Structure 1
Amino acid sequence: MCERALGAIFLEAAWEVAENSPWIIDRFREATIAVGYTGDSVLNSVFDIVWMLAGFFIAWRMPVWVTVLTAIIFELLALWVVRDNLTLNVLMLVYPVEAIKVWQGG
């Protein structure tokens, strides 16, 4: 289990580095409504890793269906409350959809 947790930390830290690279930051500015996006602060990135690790340990203790259902609920909640979530971020980075950009802008 420790090896998996370390692997998850490594993957999340790698994502944080990539997410804050000039290429991704420029892509966010270009493809999303985040026109003035300058990247995450160090504190934000550190707490992203901490919360990922908390989620890792919760998921480790729960049945798979609970973990999947919880992820779906959180994605839908974020979509409803702030018109943004991980799914939309990935979609807009890979294949920007103008209608989503307009919708997110309110």
Structure 2
Amino acid sequence: MTANIRIAPRWALIALGVLVLQAAILWWMGRVPICTCGTVKLWHGVVNSSENSQHISDWYSFSHIIHGFIFYALLRFLFPRMPLGPRLVLALGIEASWEILENTDMIINRYRAATISLDHFGDSILNSVSDALMMALGFFMAARLPVWSVIALAVIFEIGTAYMIRDNLALNIVMLLWPLDAIREWQSNL
């Protein structure tokens, strides 16, 4: 069964406010608005480059869509009677919080020490806000599509990005929490 994906205007404004707050905090933290290369690309597919995580979308956008799948399922389970608007705002709050934490020196240095992302210096504000919007896309997809298709898409995204860039959401989590030399070696042979 699919949900009605209409959001009351007040919740849409609050969701927009979350994105604006996220961008403001990232600006205050010293994050660059766009890629220091001076361009804005719709897609940047080269993972091992200084432009990764600087443009509108990249290979990691698929992970953020999966975040939306997960947050929709989790919030629907925890708050089954809550309307979609407040659940979206909660999901955006979680995603924005992660985006802010992910762009702290602590997490950036962790990525550089534990993964193959040696040239990772954090996200541009554009990329970070776009990541939150990708999560919202996944959230709405999960609200609208049958469960089996959302699961199939998540599996396709995970297998596809593992094949293309030797990284995905699951590998990213493992390498941040429990770095494994075998995975690091496999990823570095791309």
Q: Structure 2 length normalisation: TM-score?
A: 0.54
Unaligned 5+ segments in structure 2 are 1-83
Structure 1 runs not aligned, ≥5 long: none
Q: Deviations over 1:10-51 (max 9, x none)?
A: 111011011111111111111111112101111100100111
Alignment-derived partner of residue 20 in structure 1: 103
2:85 alignment counterpart:
2
Residue number in structure 2 paired with 1:32: 115
2:129 & 2:85 partners in 1: Cα distance? 19
Deviations 1:61-93 (A, max 9, x none): 012222122111101100001111111111001
Q: Which has the larger radius of gyration?
A: 2
Is 1:52 equivalent to 2:125 in the alignment?
no
Aligned to 2:155: 72
User: Distance between the aligned counterparts of 2:103 and 2:96, measured in 1?
Assistant: 11
2:179 is aligned to 96
Equivalent pairs: percent with the same residue?
46
Query: How far did 1:3 drift?
Result: 0.7
RMSD: 0.9
Instruction: Tell me the distance in 1 between the aligned counterparts of 2:119 and 2:136.
Output: 29
State the alpha-carbon separation in 2 of the partners of residues 63 and 23 from structure 1: 38
Residue type at the aligned position of 1:99: A
Matched, 1:85 2:171: no
TM-score (norm 1): 0.95
Are positions 1:105 and 2:174 aligned together?
Answer: no
Greater fraction of residues in helix:
1
Q: Tell me the number of residue pairs that the alignment of Structure 1 and Structure 2 aligns.
A: 106
